[in-house]
């Protein structure tokens, strides 16, 4: 969440920047400013009363030594009255702090200065393009037909077992999934990321820490008996490793990667763009997460983008990078870059990765800090990215590599799959 320091420093600038995200922040931001003034006034009054009580305690002791019991009792009565007043101040102070917290939880992160203005995905900016467009046979098929033809994925069995959006991978389809996961983890390891195997279920505090709650509770699967949530991404448990942690500066950056299943309700999704692997309720993904000093985080963001680009190049897929406009960004990010691959048979771009810098927004919720050279604690910057999400990668690999002989496997994957063609 936003820091009070940022808001109080220039509330009008915060309001202006949040408008880039199509969020009208005037009412909540000005309410926070008003409540924080009240909070500081109450805190000063509480501190002044505490100092007065200390003086009165010494005064009572002196009066008792002097044998002046009546005057001592009079001061004791004043102490009791001041303690009653303090109780009322504490109640008002707690109420102000709680209201500030609840408002802050529902205010998104301010976008970085480099975020373009815009309302929808149509306003995103293509930053970079790479890879060679495939030449397909005249009878090229979309991936859902290829999956059936080569017995790789059974969507109907998934419906039978669970429901739509839960496919069953079979034979070489399952092997391709496992190969991609290991390939992505190995590449992350080469880039210096320490692998984590996290829980796929988190508690409410973890969801709040990374900003999935209260913003996305309707999109998360909720285990109501235990009040647990199935994770939408490994970002949630991995970033929460550093909740309530003060990291020695010399241990930064923290670089982690993790494979996980991801669970998303995707409420309201329908139409041709959700067919096959395009949009699932359960899918596999490898995530990279970094904890950085603020002055290093944007260089780290560029490294993460280069890492994802390198994966797509090794998979021989056509790709481009989008700088998301304010209206298409997530609640928590300060800046986001989406990577999309070209799906030849569908003739459309498919998102396969988002790489984001959250600056101090998540760290403030998490109380994730580092101790600097000044011996003081400072909020870290958190970053994460998909490296990569599997479903649309698989869709593009199947569609873009179909030949009359079968589906060609990119050279970088062949040692993981154990085969070079699906036939």
The CATH number of residue 52's host domain is 1.10.287
In a shared domain, residues 101 and 162: no
- Of the residues 105, 138, 162, the one at which a domain ends: 105
Distance CA 390, CA 350 (A): 11
In a shared domain, residues 328 and 263: yes
Summary count for the chain: helices (H), strands (E): 13, 19
Structure tokens at 392: 């649309």
pLDDT of residue 62: 84
Residue 110 within any structural domain of the chain: no
265 DSSP assignment: -
Beta strands, E only, 21-124: none
pLDDT of residue 377: 97
CB within 8 Å of 222: residues ≥ 6 apart: 228, 229
Residue 158 within any structural domain of the chain: yes
Residue 115 within any structural domain of the chain: no
In a shared domain, residues 158 and 94: no
Distance CA 279, CA 346 (A): 14
CB within 8 Å of 174: residues ≥ 6 apart: none
pLDDT of residue 270: 59
Does the N-terminal peptide bond of residue 388 adopt cis geometry, omega within 30 degrees of 0? yes
In a shared domain, residues 72 and 147: no
Cβ atoms within 10 Å, residue 383: 29
In a shared domain, residues 197 and 260: yes
For the question of whether the overall pTM of this predicted structure is more than 0.75, the answer is yes
Total number of domains in the chain: 2
Residue 112 within any structural domain of the chain: no
pLDDT of residue 66: 85
Contact 200, 212 (CB under 8 A): no
In a shared domain, residues 68 and 151: no
In a shared domain, residues 48 and 175: no
Contact 104, 318 (CB under 8 A): no
**Residues listed for the chain:** 423
Which range of residues forms the domain containing residue 245?
Answer: 121-422
Cβ atoms within 10 Å, residue 34: 12
Residue 113 within any structural domain of the chain: no
Contact 236, 260 (CB under 8 A): no
Place of tokens 């990215």: 385
Residue 114 within any structural domain of the chain: no
In a shared domain, residues 310 and 417: yes
In a shared domain, residues 261 and 291: yes
Distances 308 to 70, 141, 287, 316, 361 between C-alpha atoms, Å: 79, 27, 11, 13, 23
pLDDT of residue 59: 86
In a shared domain, residues 286 and 331: yes
pLDDT of residue 411: 98
Give per-residue pLDDT as tens, 374-400. 999 999 999 999 999 999 999 999 999
CATH number for position 152: 3.30.930.10
Place of tokens 């991801």: 262
In a shared domain, residues 66 and 155: no
- Of the residues 105, 129, 164, the one at which a domain ends: 105
In a shared domain, residues 293 and 363: yes
Residue 414 within any structural domain of the chain: yes
Distance CA 176, CA 185 (A): 14
* Residue ranges in the chain whose pLDDT is less than 50: none
Structure tokens at 99: 């209201």
């Amino acid at each position: 969440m936003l820091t009070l320091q940022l808001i109080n420093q220039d509330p009008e600038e915060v309001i202006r920047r949040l408008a880039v995200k199509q969020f009208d922040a005037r009412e909540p931001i000005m309410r926070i400013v008003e409540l924080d003034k009240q909070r500081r006034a109450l805190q000063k009054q509480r501190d002044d009363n505490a100092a007065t009580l200390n003086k009165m305690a010494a005064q009572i002791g002196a009066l008792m030594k002097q044998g002046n019991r009546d005057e001592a009792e009079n001061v004791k009565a004043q102490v009791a009255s001041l303690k009653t007043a303090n109780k009322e101040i504490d109640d008002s102070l707690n109420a102000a702090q709680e209201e500030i917290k609840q408002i802050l939880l529902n205010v998104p992160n301010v976008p970085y200065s480099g975020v373009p203005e815009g309302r929808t995905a149509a306003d995103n900016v293509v930053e970079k393009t790479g890879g060679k467009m495939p030449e397909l046979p005249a009878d090229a098929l979309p991936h859902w037909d290829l999956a059936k033809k080569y017995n790789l994925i059974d969507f109907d069995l998934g419906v039978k077992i669970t429901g739509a959006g839960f496919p069953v991978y079979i034979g070489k389809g399952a092997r391709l999934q496992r190969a991609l996961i290991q390939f992505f983890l190995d590449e992350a390891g080469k880039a210096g990321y320490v692998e984590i195997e996290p829980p796929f279920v988190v508690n409410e505090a973890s969801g709040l820490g990374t900003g999935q709650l209260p913003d996305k509770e309707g999109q998360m699967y909720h285990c109501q008996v235990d009040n647990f949530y199935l994770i939408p991404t490994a970002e949630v448990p991995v970033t929460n490793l550093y909740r309530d942690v003060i990291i020695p500066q010399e241990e930064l950056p923290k670089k982690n990667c993790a494979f996980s299943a991801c669970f998303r309700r995707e409420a309201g999704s329908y139409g041709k763009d959700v067919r096959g692997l395009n949009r699932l309720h359960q899918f596999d993904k490898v995530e990279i997460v970094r904890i950085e000093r603020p002055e290093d985080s944007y260089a780290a963001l560029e490294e993460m983008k280069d890492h994802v680009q390198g994966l797509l190049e090794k998979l021989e897929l056509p790709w481009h990078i989008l700088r998301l406009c304010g209206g298409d960004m997530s609640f928590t990010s300060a800046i986001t870059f989406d990577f999309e691959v070209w799906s030849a048979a569908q003739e459309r771009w498919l998102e396969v990765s988002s790489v984001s810098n959250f600056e101090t927004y998540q760290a403030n919720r998490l109380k994730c800090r580092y101790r600097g050279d000044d011996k003081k604690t400072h909020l870290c910057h958190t970053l994460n990215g998909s490296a990569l999400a599997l479903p649309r990668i698989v869709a593009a690999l199947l569609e873009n590599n179909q030949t009359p002989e079968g589906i060609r496997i990119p050279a970088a994957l062949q040692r993981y799959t154990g085969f070079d063609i699906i036939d």
